[in-house]
């Protein structure tokens, strides 16, 4: 019944989802006073303005949490969220009306249990916290009596839902048939047809054929929209050569990152502690004799090799064991050594040489890195100056003259490959270049490396069909690819009807693919091949796969029925049963809810709904 809860305006669900803690002000809602306290009714059960506001707000919040993106009311309406909320509220009101008509209700004990078990009302100990209960209701503007009345109504609706659809289960034949379909496996074979298999070489096309191909496939030979853009920009790397750094600053940077330049010898080590020195010595003897490796004793202790790893350590990190471990001239086993944890063996996997880069040697790299960092800070400090010039009406050329921004121009299209070091390599530039219009004024935009830019759209050259003379070679190559594909498909259809080789010729070789699953793949074949294989009705049947400019003959060798008694298969059967059962329950409940709505009658005040929608921002 879990999926049926989505059909109602469940106050309980609002609380359990944790959505009640957000106030109306977060959505720009300040007042809903429009002369109406209801947006509609089903029979004698009204749908209040507060019902609709709360449900709409929660629906928007849930969508934002799922996508991680904020949405406004215009976007919500475009996605149909208000309409979905109205449908849910009408269905809930219909159930409430039906419960009232037939006298369905729940007692105080059930209401008390539902509230006490709601996670939103539980304190740090996991038990019901009255202070949390009162705080949530206060934020929602509900009294305890109002909320408890809503809980009682909601539980009555759930009783009806369970009565209508709770006993519906998936028919076993449908479950079995669906599971067999999902788990069926097939043996397939395939072979690819290539140009060298054609009976004759591809004849060269004449000019009229190529010109006709150029016209018929104009979209392939049309240059994309080109935008002529003027820009001014600066990045930390561009400014870095002008930045002056004193030796004190470089030494400070060296000291701050001393671990990158000065590091003692380190070793990759594993450690295994033994209950006694005798056991450790016996293990060491077996390791030295070559009868058992260090890892064998790790496994005997019920551990995995990674459990014994200490990682990259220095001699100081190992304390008293450091001298013995670092005395090894090459990787191997040291010990037994008495440690704080007991007698232990240490296995050295690798020796990492010490690092000693003096300041004088690191100075060049430090200067380059520090200069870029300093340049980024300088650009950040100057951003307000750049923005003031643009806001004052200065052109990009004038800004470039008065500041350190460098001017440039580019013919840009969305599918162009940017040159190395080009401003078009930045996503921020591409986004801005794609959306700017000729009426827009230049605005400063940040780059992800700390740089900034501003641009101006000077001209838009619309998509244009390139002249035939300019692209003749491309047209011929395109025609030839299509002609090869056409002839291969014709050959494939012929061989599909006559798969055996003519008398006196060797039989064609087929690549076998056994036990293929419906969601699997066949290595070396294009996407969609497996789906075509499962569409072949009977063993021996052959299909032609035309994909990715390749032509493949695909033959069904055998159909392997699923064994539903297998443990893994049984999990699929259970999942199918749940899915079909849930779908049937949902459908039956939908039919019931519509019948109740038709019997009771629905009214909806669209003007009140519109007024609320206009105020939810």
| pLDDT-wise least confident of 40-44, 215-219, 457-461, 543-547 | 40-44
Q: What is the CA radius of gyration of the chain?
A: 37
Prediction pTM value: 0.54
For residue range 554-575, list pLDDT tens digits in order: 999 999 999 898 888 899 999 9
- More confident site: 444 or 136: 444
Strand partners, 19: none
Report the pLDDT averaged over residues 393-420: 92
Distance CA 152, CA 140 (A): 18
For residue range 48-98, list pLDDT tens digits in order: 888 888 888 888 888 888 888 888 888 888 888 889 898 888 888 888 888
Residue 151, pLDDT > 60, answer yes
Hey, what are 278's tokens?
Answer: 């005798």
For residue range 251-296, list pLDDT tens digits in order: 777 877 787 788 888 999 999 999 999 999 999 999 999 999 999 9
Distance CA 36, CA 368 (A): 69
Please tell me the predicted confidence (pLDDT) of residue 554: 96
| pLDDT-wise least confident of 127-131, 204-208, 285-289, 525-529 | 127-131
- More confident site: 526 or 253: 526
Nearest to 604 by CA among 32, 101, 53, 86: 86
Please tell me the predicted confidence (pLDDT) of residue 362: 75
Band of the pLDDT at 301, cuts 50, 70, 90? confident
Instruction: State the DSSP string of 67-114.
Output: HS----HHHHHHTTHHHHHHHHHHHHHHHHHHHHHHT----HHHHHHH
Backbone angles phi, psi at 270, to 5 degrees: -115, 150
Distance CA 479, CA 475 (A): 6
For CA atoms 199, 201, 202, 206, give the dihedral sign: negative
Cβ-proximal residues to 521 (8 Å cutoff; 6+ apart), any chain: 527, 529, 530
Report the pLDDT averaged over residues 357-372: 77
Distance CA 478, CA 440 (A): 40
Query: How do beta strands 511-517 and 464-465 pair?
Result: unpaired
Distance CA 208, CA 214 (A): 10
Give residue 249's Cα distance to chain centre: 43
Residue 29, pLDDT > 50, answer no
Of 86-90, 413-417, 444-448, 507-511, where does the model show the most confidence? 444-448
Distance CA 530, CA 552 (A): 12
Please tell me the predicted confidence (pLDDT) of residue 492: 94
Report the pLDDT averaged over residues 14-43: 48
Distance CA 430, CA 453 (A): 12
What 3-state class would DSSP assign to 426? coil
- The answer to whether 489 and 545 have CB atoms below 8 angstroms apart is no
Please tell me the predicted confidence (pLDDT) of residue 326: 93
Please tell me the predicted confidence (pLDDT) of residue 456: 96
Query: How do beta strands 222-223 and 464-465 pair?
Result: antiparallel
What 3-state class would DSSP assign to 47? strand
Distance CA 499, CA 193 (A): 13
Distance CA 454, CA 407 (A): 10
Distance CA 34, CA 408 (A): 56
* Alpha helix positions (H), 437-467: none
Backbone angles phi, psi at 337, to 5 degrees: -125, 135
Query: How do beta strands 332-339 and 222-223 pair?
Result: unpaired
Band of the pLDDT at 224, cuts 50, 70, 90? very high
Hey, what are 40's tokens?
Answer: 């509609």
Hey, what are 332's tokens?
Answer: 């191997």
Please tell me the predicted confidence (pLDDT) of residue 505: 65
- More confident site: 189 or 360: 189
- The answer to whether 233 and 452 have CB atoms below 8 angstroms apart is yes
For residue range 461-482, list pLDDT tens digits in order: 999 999 999 999 999 999 999 9
CA distances to 218, 264, 360, 363 from 248, rounded to whole Å, are 65, 25, 13, 11
Averaged pLDDT of the chain: 86
Distance CA 601, CA 103 (A): 19
Residue 205, pLDDT > 80, answer yes
The single-letter DSSP state of residue 306 is: G
For CA atoms 111, 116, 119, 120, give the dihedral sign: positive
């Amino acid at each position: 019944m879990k999926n049926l809860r989505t059909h109602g305006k469940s106050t309980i669900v609002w609380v359990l989802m944790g959505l009640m803690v957000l106030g109306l002000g977060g959505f720009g809602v300040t007042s809903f006073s429009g002369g109406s306290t209801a947006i509609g009714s089903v029979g004698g059960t009204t749908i209040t303005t507060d019902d609709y506001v709360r449900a709409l707000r929660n629906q928007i919040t849930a969508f934002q949490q799922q996508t991680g993106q904020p949405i406004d009311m215009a976007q919500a309406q475009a996605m149909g969220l208000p309409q979905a909320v109205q449908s849910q509220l009408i269905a809930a009101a219909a159930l409430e009306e039906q419960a009232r008509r037939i006298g369905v209700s729940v007692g105080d004990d059930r209401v008390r249990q539902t509230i006490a078990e709601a996670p939103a009302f539980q304190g740090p100990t996991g038990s019901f916290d009255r202070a949390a209960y009162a705080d949530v209701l206060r934020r929602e503007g509900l009294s305890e009596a109002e909320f408890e009345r809503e809980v009682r109504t909601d539980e009555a609706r759930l009783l009806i839902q369970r009565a209508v659809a709770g006993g519906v289960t998936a028919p076993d034949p449908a479950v079995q048939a669906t599971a067999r379909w999902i788990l069926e496996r097939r043996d397939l074979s395939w072979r690819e047809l290539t140009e060298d298999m054609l009976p004759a070489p591809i004849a060269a096309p004449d000019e009229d054929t190529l010109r006709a191909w150029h016209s018929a496939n104009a979209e392939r030979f049309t240059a994309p929209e080109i935008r002529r853009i003027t820009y001014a920009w600066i990045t930390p790397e561009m400014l870095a050569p002008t930045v002056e750094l004193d030796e004190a600053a470089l030494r400070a940077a060296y000291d701050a990152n001393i671990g990158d330049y000065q590091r003692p010898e380190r070793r990759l080590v594993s450690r295994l502690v033994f209950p006694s020195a005798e056991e450790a010595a016996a293990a060491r003897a077996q390791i030295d004799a070559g009868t058992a490796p260090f890892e064998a004793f790790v496994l005997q202790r019920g551990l995995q090799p990674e459990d014994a790893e200490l990682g990259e350590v220095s001699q100081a990190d190992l304390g008293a064991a450091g001298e013995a471990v670092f005395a090894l001239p090459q990787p191997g086993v040291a010990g037994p050594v008495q440690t704080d944890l007991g007698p232990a063996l240490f296995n050295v996997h690798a020796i990492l040489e010490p690092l000693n880069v003096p300041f004088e040697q690191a100075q060049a790299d430090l200067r380059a890195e520090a200069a870029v960092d300093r340049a980024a800070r300088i650009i950040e400090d100057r951003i307000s100056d750049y923005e003031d010039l643009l806001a004052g009406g200065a052109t990009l050329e004038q800004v470039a003259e008065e500041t350190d921004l460098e001017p440039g121009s580019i013919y840009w299209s969305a599918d162009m490959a940017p040159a190395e070091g080009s401003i078009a390599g930045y996503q921020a530039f591409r986004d801005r270049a794609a959306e700017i219009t000729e009426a827009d004024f230049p605005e400063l935009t940040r780059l992800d490396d700390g740089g900034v830019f501003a641009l101006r759209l000077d001209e838009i050259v619309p998509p244009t069909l390139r002249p035939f003379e300019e692209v003749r070679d491309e047209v011929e190559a395109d025609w030839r690819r299509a002609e090869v594909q056409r002839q291969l498909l014709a050959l494939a259809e012929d061989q599909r009807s006559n798969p055996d080789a003519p008398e006196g010729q060797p039989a064609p070789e087929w690549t076998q693919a056994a036990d293929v699953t419906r969601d699997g793949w066949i290595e070396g074949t294009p996407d969609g091949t497996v789906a075509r294989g499962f569409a072949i009705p009977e063993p021996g049947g052959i299909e032609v796969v035309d994909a990715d400019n390749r032509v493949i003959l695909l033959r069904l060798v055998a159909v392997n029925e699923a064994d539903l008694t297998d443990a893994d298969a049984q999990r699929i059967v259970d999942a199918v049963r749940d899915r079909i059962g849930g779908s049937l329950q949902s459908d039956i409940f939908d039919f019931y809810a519509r019948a109740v709505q038709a019997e009771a009658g629905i009214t909806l005040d669209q003007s009140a709904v519109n007024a609320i929608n206009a105020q939810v921002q």
